[in-house]
Amino acid sequence: MDALNRPRCDAVPAWTQLQAQFEKSGAALDLRQAFAADPQRFEAFSQDAPYVFADLSKNRIDAVTQSLLFNLARQCGVEQYRDAMFAGEKINTTEGRAVMHFLLRKSALAQGESAPAAIKNDLAEVHATLDAMLGFAEQVRADAAITDVVNIGIGGSDLGPLMATLALDAFATPTKRMHFVSNVDGHELAALLPRLKVESTLFLIASKTFTTTETMTNARSAKAWFEAQGGTDTARHFAALTTNVAAANSFGISTTFGFWDWVGGRYSMWSAIGLPIAIAIGAGNFRDFLAGAQAMDEHFRTAPMEQNLPIRLGLLDVWYRNFHGFTSRSIAPYHSALRRLPAYLQQLEMESNGKQVDVQGRKLPFDTCPVLWGEPGTNGQHAYFQMLHQGTDVVPVEFVAVKKPRHSLPGHHNILLANVVAQAQALMVGKEDAGGHRNFPGNRPSTFLLLDDLTPASLGALIALQEHRVFVSGALWGINSFDQWGVELGKVLAKDIEPRLLSGDVAGLDSSTAGLLSKLR
């Protein structure tokens, strides 16, 4: 099958068969009955993948549905499409680019190991840059005079490094304070600057394009502050992480670490964009982070479909979105260090798959990306879980739990783990109460992802798993998961509004936009 000319999910026989299966028994599947009927259900619907154990048994699937879903993936050429990505083909067709974030975590070729020529060259560049970036990270770590590292970036140039730096706090050096400034709202930078000293601060300007308004505005203000405080050594106190090294140079930054156009912003924390992570956790741990992701890449690339966790999750996502009609998925990390995971996943999935046309630009006749949202458990339990248990919408929940704690406070972790298991159980079993108010309908689906320990390697694997499951649902829907044209219009209009806010010119604007401008002046 031609990987770039595959049938869309709604054009293959399995789609129609899944529709029939949904009507016949899928819609009515009751998890309580499914567990009662099959004592082996947990084993049958759980899956070991590198560093991640997944219990899928509390999802509304049975063996028939699952095998139809595998047929769907086969008929849509998901494996061929995956292989095309790993071969470096230009699968990001609207931008004419390859999609090779996996290469950022691939170890150097072993003696005699073969790879397509293009990949070989890129891999050599990846390793040269990685070595330089990690060398710089170690240099910063050893430099006692630098106490504060400020990452200025937004979207993929912020969320990944921030999420991972928080997640790996147990591995971080206590000698550096890491700060992340993303918002163009000056309150963010203005609140930080008075806490910094010129001689002990390193600014990292992280931007794939080095043109993003928010980042460039913050970078300009940081540089102006630095100079106003008497700072002169920009080579020591500023570094740029970007594919646009020329723009960084003309901005006045000579210390640069590059990456490539085949790395999407939301897939970029494995590249030079990961420098803040590397400064926090050190080169060895950063390499473990990459190795964990590579282990998941290999799992995705080689495991048969039936035991391929990213494929199974991606198929489940399509089953829920297109057949059950579920509109969102709630992410519930039961580890406070994973508190920015939901925000990270929002960009990963919603910027990738929030599309309404297929790769050929044809309007899709079915729904795509759900809304992702969430907060760390147990906090969510005391806020919106009411709705998850008794609301009118069914929201599949993705629990993420970690077996081993990294603190020694007695009791806490047992309570935490008891809660995550109980929530998944409660959503599924429900509780009959004739009075209505205390009735829990149950049969509410969830996936349970379990890490043994939250380490650089397991975090790398967890995130690569999420990247690949987004690839799978995008591949089935026939969309290009690697562009993001939907963010452009707002950017263009903001450029038009900006001078109008100063001039008061409202000519040609609708009355609401004009009215708001007048109020804001």
- Given 351, 375, 398, 467, which residue is catalytic? 351
Q: Which regions of 362-445 does DSSP assign to beta strands (E)?
A: 371-374, 397-402
Spatial distance between the Cα atoms of 443 and 429, rounded to a whole number of angstroms = 6
- Of residues 130 and 273, the one with the C-beta less far from ligand F6P: 273
Please say if 351 is a catalytic residue: yes
Would you give the end-to-end CA distance of the chain in angstroms?
59
Nearer to ligand F6P, 22 or 344 (CB): 344
382, 407, 437, 519: which is the annotated catalytic residue? 382
Q: Which listed residue (24, 197, 491, 495) is catalytic? A: 491
Contact 125, 270 (CB under 8 A): no
Beta carbons of 293 and 463 less than 8 angstroms apart? yes
Shortest reach from residue 351's CB to ligand F6P, in Å? 6
Question: What is the nearest approach in angstroms of ligand F6P to the Cβ of residue 242?
Answer: 8
How many other C-beta atoms are found inside a 10 Å radius of the C-beta of residue 282?
A: 19
Smaller CB distance to ligand F6P: residue 80 or 209? 209
What is the spatial distance between Cα 290 and Cα 271, in angstroms, rounded to a whole number?
A: 10
* Three-state secondary-structure class, residue 203: strand
Closest CA to 18 of 315, 353, 307: 315
Give the shortest CB-83-to-ligand F6P separation in angstroms.
26
Rounded to a whole number of angstroms, the minimum distance from the CB of residue 510 to ligand F6P is: 24
Which lies closer to ligand F6P via its Cβ, residue 214 or residue 288? 214
Task: Say if residues 326 and 494 touch (Cβ distance below 8 Å).
Answer: no
- The amino acid at residue 509 is L
Q: Are 417 and 401 in contact (CB under 8 A)?
A: yes
For residue 297, the minimal CB distance to ligand F6P (Å) is 21
Q: Which is nearer to ligand F6P, 156 or 310 (CB)?
A: 156
The answer to whether residue 382 is catalytic is yes
Give the angle 307-17-35 at the CA atoms, nearest 5°: 55
Q: How far is the CB of 350 from ligand F6P (least distance, A)?
A: 11
Q: How far apart are CA 91 and CA 134, in angstroms?
A: 30
Binding site residues, ligand F6P, CB under 6 A: 154-157, 207-209, 212, 215, 265-266, 351, 484, 487
Query: Which residue, 481 or 484, has its beta carbon nearer to ligand F6P?
Result: 484
Task: Collapse the DSSP code of 216 into the 3-class scheme (helix H, G, I; strand E, B; otherwise coil) and give the result.
Answer: helix
Q: What is the CA radius of gyration of the chain?
A: 24
Catalytic residues: 351, 382, 491
